Amino acid sequence: MATVLPRASGGPPVSLRWPPEDNRIPREIFTDPDLFRWEMDAVFTGPVWVLVGHEAEIPQPGDYKTISVGAVPVIVVRGGDGQVRVLLNACAHRGARLVEGPSGNVLRAGFRCIYHMWTYAPDGTLQGVSLPEDFPAEFRREDYGLPRARVATHRGLIFASFHDETPPLPAYLAELTEGLDRVVGDGRLRYLGSVKVVFRTNWKLYVENIYDGYHVTALHTGFQVVRLRSHGGQRLVPNYQRNGHLWGQSRSTRVDELRPVLRDMSLFEVRTKPTTDHNMIVVFPSGVVTDYFDTIQLRYVLPLAVDRTLIEFTFFARSDDPEEVVRHRVRQGPAVLGPAGAITLEDAAALERVQTSSVARGDNVVLKGTPKRFPPYRHVDEAPIRHFYQAYRRLLGVADGAPSQP
Amino acid sequence: MSALSDVTSREQAARELLSHYVRVVDDPERVHEWPDLFADEAEYVVVTRENLERGLPVAVIRDDSKDRILDRVTVIREFWGAGGRLEDRHYNDVRPRHLVGPVWTEPAEDGSVWVTANFGVWLTPSADPTPRLLALGEYRDHVVFTPQGPRFRSKWVILDTAVLQDVFVYPL
Ligand code: FES
Ligand SMILES: [Fe+2]
């Protein structure tokens, strides 16, 4: 059973200025702390499915990992019954955080709160209470399980929702399902580890950057240096009338056609796929899924504060990969897409600059590809960003500015 | 030279290599000298303690050959436009500052020396006067002696901070 978190109601508690043109983004949405708090509620615990992991991260019964859904700290745990659940990481008694570390196993011990020693089973049910004498007569353990999110999985991808009206996951993902399948295959993956880094930017700037195909060759100098470009592709926005995911597809230059400026060009090599086609996906609002080169990566975008966002880059192999393929993926993944990756740092630098100058007020403007009103867009377009903000504004209850349907 | 003083001088030389390393990685204009501090067969690995202890192979940086170590300089200078030159794009225009110590040395039977040291790296961005603590952790270095002098056979940078506080350009 899912537990609905208590939520604020009504419109935004802040007055939000939004220009009438849907390609203009008011800069104050990146700096307003009241809006940030409202987003954590209206977006992240709104009628959305938030990507919180892949089952390969918690393969054994009792395995858990911690993450957050917006501002809500949660535990993603596989029960003794094999079922994946998402539990609030806060004791139902007086709220102490239950687990501190990033991961572990609680099959035997369950979750034990340090404060008054309440213990919970891996499925979140309250098992034991210390010294329960003199509790109110009506106290029943069944009433004090850990609150749970709704959970749905697709090919091992774990999604959580704290809202009762979130549509079923297949309807939410719509045509994006096909893109996800291209990346995660049959879902049998092996977890290789993660790298986490704080970007000094608002979470929306991080996400809109993925929708933006315009910056790719301009900002990422490495691509220019090795002469890597996109040979066709497109930017789809599955379910744009509702939640506006991104499905970017493109085909990049083969490694043997690149300028060999590095002694070891395996960074840009594709060994596991018949072509250099890859997918760059955002599951609205905050999950990133990609199979760039041979890297299978999920990213969790975790807002920390209005101007700070934790990005967790997680890396996977396929379960049946031979060891040399695993080794290639381990060498390539973080070297391309990670905090010290050859094409990641530049995004952080650009986004920090946008964040810093957002106090200047005024609007950011989206231009490239915007004469077209609806997807599909070209892979070099930034126009899909509009659909991200339309979906965002719907959740906030601000008129979405979307043109009428074609 | 007696056996004892030979060991002592090798430990001393290993310490000096580490001091020299800090000098080089703190100076954006000397980043091209960084690969010279490694042996021809060498690795430079930056990993979080979290992944290391869980036995997960993903590292922040895994330069597992001299080629990759040399490539890092190309990436720093050509991809990221850093290295103290005028035409640089300055994606991450910072002055790094390593604080290293204490340093422990342990001679191995084959004549090489293991060096461990605590370290912290602060970044001072040119655009922001507030220094940022990028990373804290431990160096685990293996120093070998080549005809050219002491060189790192391996340098493992183990990060206490499971969450990096910033992206970064220059070697840790
Ligand atoms: S807060 Fe957890 S047992 Fe009291
Ligand atoms: Fe980018």
Instruction: Supply the CATH number for residue A94's domain.
Output: 2.102.10.10
Rounded Cα distance between B57 and A291, Å, is: 19
The predicted pLDDT at position A9 comes to 54
The predicted pLDDT at position A136 comes to 96
Q: List pLDDT tens digits, range B78-99.
A: 888 876 655 556 676 788 999 9
Angle at A69 between CA A63 and CA A71, to 5 degrees: 125
- Cα A207 to chain centroid distance, Å, stands at 9
Residues 6 or more apart in contact with residue A69 via CB below 8 angstroms: A44, A45, A50, A52, A86, A149, A160, A162
Closest chain B CA to residue A311:
B163
Radius of gyration of chain A (CA): 22
Q: What element of type H or E holds A246?
A: strand A246-252
Residue A311 contacts residue A300 (beta carbons within 8 Å) = yes
The predicted pLDDT at position A5 comes to 59
Rounded Cα distance between A173 and A166, Å, is: 11
Q: Chain A partners of B91 at a C-beta cutoff of 8 Å?
A: 345-346, 349
CA distances to A165, A327, B60, B158 from A172, in Å: 11, 35, 34, 41
Sign of CA dihedral B49, B55, B58, B62: positive
Residues 6 or more apart in contact with residue A186 via CB below 8 angstroms: A155
Do A221 and A84 share a domain, yes or no? no
Which residue's C-alpha comes closest to atom 1 of ligand 1?
Answer: A94
Angle at A211 between CA A194 and CA A218, to 5 degrees: 95
CATH among 3.10.450.50, 3.40.50.1820, 3.40.470.10, 1.10.3720.10 for B3-159: 3.10.450.50
Q: Tell whether A361 is covered by a domain.
A: yes
Residues 6 or more apart in contact with residue B161 via CB below 8 angstroms: B48, B135, B136, B137
Q: Tell whether A401 is covered by a domain.
A: no
Do A147 and A242 share a domain, yes or no? no
Question: pTM higher than 0.90, yes or no?
Answer: yes
Tell me the residue range of the domain where A73 lies.
50-152
Do A391 and A250 share a domain, yes or no? yes
Q: Tell whether A164 is covered by a domain.
A: no
Rounded Cα distance between A96 and A282, Å, is: 33
Closest in B51, B64, B164 to A339, CB measured: B164
Please give the single-letter amino acid code of residue B119.
F
Q: Tell whether A171 is covered by a domain.
A: no
Phi, psi (degrees; rounded to nearest 5) at A198: -90, 125
Sign of CA dihedral A331, A337, A339, A343: positive
Do A213 and A88 share a domain, yes or no? no
> How many domains does one find in chain A?
2
For chain A, which residues lie within 8 Å of any Cβ of chain B, measuring from their own Cβ?
Answer: 102-103, 191-200, 221-222, 225, 261-264, 310, 315, 326, 330-331, 333-335, 338-340, 342-346, 348-349, 356
| CATH of residue A319 | 3.90.380.10
- Report the DSSP beta bridge partners of residue B139: B117, B157
Do A289 and A193 share a domain, yes or no? yes
Q: Tell whether A179 is covered by a domain.
A: no
Judged by CB atoms closer than 8 Å, whether chains meet at A264 and B62 is answered as: no
Neighbours of B33 (CB within 10 A): 15
Do A239 and A302 share a domain, yes or no? yes
Q: DSSP of A365-390, one letter per residue?
A: E--TTTTS-SS-EETT--TTHHHHHH
| Cα–Cα nearest to B9, from B113, B146, B88, B110 | B113
Judged by CB atoms closer than 8 Å, whether chains meet at B57 and A330 is answered as: yes
Do A344 and A208 share a domain, yes or no? yes
CA distances to A208, A222, A290, A297, A384 from A229, in Å: 21, 11, 17, 21, 20
Residue B156 contacts residue B45 (beta carbons within 8 Å) = yes
Nearest atom, ligand 1, residue A116 CA: 3
Q: Tell whether A181 is covered by a domain.
A: no
Rounded Cα distance between B172 and B26, Å, is: 9
Rounded Cα distance between A266 and A330, Å, is: 11
Q: What is the pLDDT along chain A (406 residues), one digit of tens a residue?
A: 455 556 555 556 677 889 999 999 999 999 999 999 999 999 999 999 999 999 999 999 999 999 999 999 999 999 999 999 999 999 999 999 999 989 999 999 999 999 999 999 999 999 999 999 999 999 999 999 999 999 999 999 999 999 999 999 999 999 999 999 999 999 999 999 999 999 999 999 999 999 999 999 889 889 999 999 999 899 999 999 999 999 999 999 999 999 999 999 999 999 999 999 999 999 999 999 999 999 999 999 999 999 999 999 999 999 999 999 999 999 999 999 988 888 888 899 999 999 999 999 899 999 999 999 999 999 999 999 999 999 999 999 887 778 765 5
User: Would you state the structure tokens that stand for residue A60, as one six-digit string?
Assistant: 């054994």
Please give the single-letter amino acid code of residue A340.
A
Q: What element of type H or E holds A182?
A: helix A176-184
Residue A166 contacts residue A48 (beta carbons within 8 Å) = yes
Domain regions of chain B by residue span: 3-159
Do A194 and A119 share a domain, yes or no? no
Q: Tell whether A4 is covered by a domain.
A: no
Rounded Cα distance between A46 and A298, Å, is: 22
The predicted pLDDT at position A1 comes to 46
Do A324 and A265 share a domain, yes or no? yes
Residue A124 contacts residue A1 (beta carbons within 8 Å) = no
Complex ipTM value: 0.94
Residues 6 or more apart in contact with residue A387 via CB below 8 angstroms: A211, A237, A240, A244, A375, A402
Residue B155 contacts residue B119 (beta carbons within 8 Å) = no
Which residue's C-alpha comes closest to atom 4 of ligand 1?
Answer: A116
The predicted pLDDT at position A401 comes to 79
The predicted pLDDT at position B81 comes to 80
Report the SS3 class of residue A5.
coil
Q: Chain B partners of A227 at a C-beta cutoff of 8 Å?
A: none
Do A286 and A392 share a domain, yes or no? yes
Question: Which DSSP letter does residue A44 get?
Answer: I
Cis peptide before A274 (omega within 30 of 0): no
Measure in Å the smallest separation between the Cα of B88 and chain A Cα atoms: 11
Do A130 and A229 share a domain, yes or no? no
Q: Tell whether A24 is covered by a domain.
A: no
